[in-house]
C-alpha cells in the first residue's frame, strides 16, 4: 500500500479522489499495490464526502507524515502551491501537479530539487488535460530532435473561435455562451488574452529544447480583437482562425516562440480541431508530424492524467523518471521582430492594394463577397515581423487605416 | 555503456542503427549512458556500412554474449523471429520489436516469458509506426477503462482510398500508384486484404482488455471490393470510406472486434486522416476520445519508436515496465453475426426501395447525381449483422441484385 496526499479538492482534486476510488481495481492490476488516499488538504469542509475522515486544513499533516510518498498538487495558482510543492520535494516526496502556472513559472527549479532529492516531479495534466503529451514527448519521441511544436492549447478560446466560424457569432456572444456552458470562467482574461496557452507552450518548449522558457519571454496575443470580418476573410483564403501556441527550433539553435491567433490552412491537421478540444502537433526529425487530439480540460480527463502520473511515481519510488530541463535566461529566444511570418492585413482607404504593393511587394488580395466599400484585405509574403511593422507604418502614413493584422500560420 | 544487438538490417533495422548513431548525443543526455551496437545479425553482407565490423550471420554470437542486455528484432515474419526472440528473453535479455505479426501471433506467450525472466518485451513500433500509442495506452491512460478503440491502422490502404476519394482513381490504378511510390509492396495482399490492420487492432485490443486476441478470431475484410460508385455514394451520405480496425467493450464484458471498410462521417476525427497517414482513436471512460495521428510506417518514424523502446529497456534493466496481457481463448469475442451495425447497400433491380422498406423497415435512400437507371443505394438502421445478412437474402430473393454492402462506422 502506498499512501498519497491530495492538496486541493476543487474540480480536478475531487476528480483525482474519485478516480482513485472508482478505478481502484484497474490501478491495482497495473501497479500491484493499493494507492491509499491518506490526506486531502482543503480549507473548506466536505462532511458528505465518503473520504470525509481524510480531510485536513493543515499542510503539516502531509509534510510531516513519513508514510506519504506521493503528493498531488491540484490547488492551482502559485500561492501557496509553489511553497508547498517545494517543501514536499525537499522532504523526499514525489509530487504530481496539474498546475501549469506553477510549472511554467518554477519548473526548472522544482525539477532541479526533484533531481537532487531523487524523487519525481510529474505534470502530464498541466498541458492538454487528458491528452497524453508530456510522457510521449519525453519518452516515445526521445529518439527525435524536435523541430517544431504547434498547438491549440486552450479549449475556451477554441470554443469561442469555433462558434464565430461555424455559427457566425460575435466574439462577445460566443464568450457569453462559453461562460454559460462552463467552458469559460467568469473572469476569462487568462484564457482569452492567451496567458493559459502561453504557459502550456512554455512547458512544451522547455521540455523539447532543454532550457526553461518563462512566460514573460514569450510574445502573447489573445483573441479579443478578432472580428467576424476577419473570420470571413480567413475562410475566403482557405483558412480558419485559431489561437496557436508555437515554438520552432532555428538553424542557429535559438527558438522562435509565440502565442497568437493565426490563419490555419484548411489542409492542416490543426484546422479541424474544434470547440473545446485541444490538438498538439509535434514535428520530430525522425517521426515527421505527430498530432495528439482530445479534451484539453475538464474534471475527469485532467484527473485521469494526474492519476497516471501518481501510478508512475508509485512505480518509481526509488528511481527517477527522466524528465528534466535546465534553467533558462531567455537568450535562446529570438525577438518577435526577428520572427519570420506572412501577414494578413485588413485595411480601409483608397487604392489600398496598389499602395500595399508599392510597400510590401507581391501580395495576395483576398476576394470575398459582401466586402464594404473602401475595405480590402491582403496577405503579404513572409518577412521578419519587425519589417512588417515598419511597412505597415508606411501604409498607415499613406492614408490607409489598418483595421486588423493576423499572422499566417505555417502549419 | 549498454550493449545492444540488432537482428535484421532491412529498412527498419538500418534506421535503428542510423538513429543510434546520429542521435547518440541526445540519447546519452536522456539515458546518462552510451548505447553501443555490439552485433547486427543479417545474412547479407554490408561491407560499406560504418558498422561493418559489427555484422554477424550467427545468432549464437548474440545469444551467448552476456554483455548484450537488449536485443532489437526487426527481421519481420515469424521464422526465425519467434524462436530468436523467445531464446533472447529466456536468456535474460530484454527485447524490442517492430514485428506486428510476431506480437499478434505470440504476444501473450512472449510477455509471460518476459515477466518470468524479469526482463522487458516492448513493441511500440508494432502499431502506428512512429505514432506513440502503446506507451500512452499502457501508461498515460492507465486510469481509464477503455471503452473503444478505432483506427486507420494501415497506410497503404488509406493511401489507395484517399486517391479514390480525392482523385477519382479506380482501385487498381491507385494500387499501382501506391506501389510506384513505395507505399505498397509488390505483393500487397497483407495490406489490401486487411491482415496488417487486423494484427494491429489485435495488439491494441489485447493491451486494452487484458486478454490476447488472435488475428484468426477477428472478422477481417479488405478494400479490394470498394468501387468508385461506393465512394461517391459515401460522399453523398456525408461520409468517406476508410479501412477501420475497431474494438469495443460491450456491457457484458465481451468485445466486438472487426477490420472492415466503413463509412466514416465527415465530422469524425478519423475522416480527415488521409494518404499514408494513420490515426487511432482511443475512447477512455475518463478522457473521452483521444486521437493519435502521424506516419504509420516508414524507415525513420518506425525506427525512432524502436529506439525509444531501447532507451526504456536500458533504463529498466533491473525492473519491469508494466506491459502485460494474459493469454486468450477467443471466448470474450462476440461473433460477427452478433455485432450491431447499420449497413450501406447498393443494389440493382426494380422497386428496390419499396422492397427494401418492406424487408428492413425504415431506411435512408442516398440520392446522388448520375445514378445509373435501376441502381439505388440506401442505409439501414442498426441491427445485428446476422439479421442484416438474412434480410439481404430476402432482398436478393425478391429479384434484386446486391452490388455492394459496407458497414456504417459509428465513429
Q: In CATH, what number does B337-408 get?
A: 3.30.70.120
Residues of B serving a catalytic function are 200
Residues of A serving a catalytic function are 200
Strand order across the B35-41 sheet = B55-56, B35-41, B2-7, B68-73, B94-97, B121-122
Residues 272-301 of B with CB under 8 A from A: 272, 284-295, 298, 300-301
Q: Report yes or no: A18 and A10 within 8 Å, Cβ to Cβ.
A: no
What is the reported pLDDT for A257?
98
Rounded Cα gap, residues B209 and B211, in angstroms: 6
Map out the domains of chain A as residue ranges.
Answer: 2-129+299-315, 134-295, 336-408
Looking at chain A, which residue has its C-alpha nearest residue B22? Answer: A143
For B46, list phi and psi in degrees, rounded to 5.
-130, 65
Q: Which residues of A touch B308 (CB under 8 A)?
A: 139-143
Min distance A24 CA to chain B CA atoms (Å): 9
Min distance A280 CA to chain B CA atoms (Å): 10
The arrangement of secondary structure in A134-295, i.e. its CATH architecture, is 2-Layer Sandwich (3.30)
Q: Which neighbouring-strand residues pair with A288?
A: A284
Q: Which helix (H) or strand (E) holds A383?
A: strand A383-384
**Contact across the interface for A143 and B307, Cβ inside 8 Å:** yes
Local confidence pLDDT in tens for the 411 residues of chain B: 999 999 999 999 999 999 999 999 999 999 999 999 999 999 999 999 999 999 999 999 999 999 999 999 999 999 999 999 999 999 999 999 999 999 999 999 999 999 999 999 999 999 999 999 999 999 999 999 999 999 999 999 999 999 999 999 999 999 999 999 988 888 999 999 999 999 999 999 999 999 999 999 999 999 999 999 999 999 999 999 999 999 999 999 999 999 999 999 998 999 999 999 999 999 999 999 999 999 988 899 999 999 999 999 999 888 777 789 999 999 999 999 999 999 999 999 999 999 999 999 999 999 998 888 889 999 999 999 999 999 999 999 999 999 999 999 998
Q: Which residues of B touch A27 (CB under 8 A)?
A: 142-143
For CA atoms A350, A352, A358, A364, give the dihedral sign.
negative
Give Cα B285 to chain centroid, integer Å: 22
Rounded Cα gap, residues B160 and A210, in angstroms: 40
State in words which class domain A2-129+299-315 has. Answer: alpha beta
Query: CB-hemisphere CA count at 13 Å for A27?
Result: 30
Lookup: cell for A284: 520530430
Q: Which helix (H) or strand (E) holds A358?
A: helix A352-360
Residue A32: left if φ>0, alpha if ψ -120 to 50, beta else—which one? Answer: left
Beta strands in B165-272 (DSSP E): 219-220, 239-249, 255-265
Whether A265 and chain B come into contact, CB under 8 Å, resolves to: no
Min distance B154 CA to chain A CA atoms (Å): 16
Helix (H, G, I), strand (E, B) or coil at B1: coil
Cα torsion for A107, A113, A116, A121, to the nearest 10°?
-60
DSSP category for residue A333: B
Whether A139 and chain B come into contact, CB under 8 Å, resolves to: yes
Question: How does B195-204 read in b/e, with b if 16+ C-beta sit within 10 Å?
Answer: bbbbbbbbbb
State in words which class domain A336-408 has. Answer: alpha beta
Q: Report yes or no: A16 and A306 within 8 Å, Cβ to Cβ.
A: yes
Amino acid at each position: 500500500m502506498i499512501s498519497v496526499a491530495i492538496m486541493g479538492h476543487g474540480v480536478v482534486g475531487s476528480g483525482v479522489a474519485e478516480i482513485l476510488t472508482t478505478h481502484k481495481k484497474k490501478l491495482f492490476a497495473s501497479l500491484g499495490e493499493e494507492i491509499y488516499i491518506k490526506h486531502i488538504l482543503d480549507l473548506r469542509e466536505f462532511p458528505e464526502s465518503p473520504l470525509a475522515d481524510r480531510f485536513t486544513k493543515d499542510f503539516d499533516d502531509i509534510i510531516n507524515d513519513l508514510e506519504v510518498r506521493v503528493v498531488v498538487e491540484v490547488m492551482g495558482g502559485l500561492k501557496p502551491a509553489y511553497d508547498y510543492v517545494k517543501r514536499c520535494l525537499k522532504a523526499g516526496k514525489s509530487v504530481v501537479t496539474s498546475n501549469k502556472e506553477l510549472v511554467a513559472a518554477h519548473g526548472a527549479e522544482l525539477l532541479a530539487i526533484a533531481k537532487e532529492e531523487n524523487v519525481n516531479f510529474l505534470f502530464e495534466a498541466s498541458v492538454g488535460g487528458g491528452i497524453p503529451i508530456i510522457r510521449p514527448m519525453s519518452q516515445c519521441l526521445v529518439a527525435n530532435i524536435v523541430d517544431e511544436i504547434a498547438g491549440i492549447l486552450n479549449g475556451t478560446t477554441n470554443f469561442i473561435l469555433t462558434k464565430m466560424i461555424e455559427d457566425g457569432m460575435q466574439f462577445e456572444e460566443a464568450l457569453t455562451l462559453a461562460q454559460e456552458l462552463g467552458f469559460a470562467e467568469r473572469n476569462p482574461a487568462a484564457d482569452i488574452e492567451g496567458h493559459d496557452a502561453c504557459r502550456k507552450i512554455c512547458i512544451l518548449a522547455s521540455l523539447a529544447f532543454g532550457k526553461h522558457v518563462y512566460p514573460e519571454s514569450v510574445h502573447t496575443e489573445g483573441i479579443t480583437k478578432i472580428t467576424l470580418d476577419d473570420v470571413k476573410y480567413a475562410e475566403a483564403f482557405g483558412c480558419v482562425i485559431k489561437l496557436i501556441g508555437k515554438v520552432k527550433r532555428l538553424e542557429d539553435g535559438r527558438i522562435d516562440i509565440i502565442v497568437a491567433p493565426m490563419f490555419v490552412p484548411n489542409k492542416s491537421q490543426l484546422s479541424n480541431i474544434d470547440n473545446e478540444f485541444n490538438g498538439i502537433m509535434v514535428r520530430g526529425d525522425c517521426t515527421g508530424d505527430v498530432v495528439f487530439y482530445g479534451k484539453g480540460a475538464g474534471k475527469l480527463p485532467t484527473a485521469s492524467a494526474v492519476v497516471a502520473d501518481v501510478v508512475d511515481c508509485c512505480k518509481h519510488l526509488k528511481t527517477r523518471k527522466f524528465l528534466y530541463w535546465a534553467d533558462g535566461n531567455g537568450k535562446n529566444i529570438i525577438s518577435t521582430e526577428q520572427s519570420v511570418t506572412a501577414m494578413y492585413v485588413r485595411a480601409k482607404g483608397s487604392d489600398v492594394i496598389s499602395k500595399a504593393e508599392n510597400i510590401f511587394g507581391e501580395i495576395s488580395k483576398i476576394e470575398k463577397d459582401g466586402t464594404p466599400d473602401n475595405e480590402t484585405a491582403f496577405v503579404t509574403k513572409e518577412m521578419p515581423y519587425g519589417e512588417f511593422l515598419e511597412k505597415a507604418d508606411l501604409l498607415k502614413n499613406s492614408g490607409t487605416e489598418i483595421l486588423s493584422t493576423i499572422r499566417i500560420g505555417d502549419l
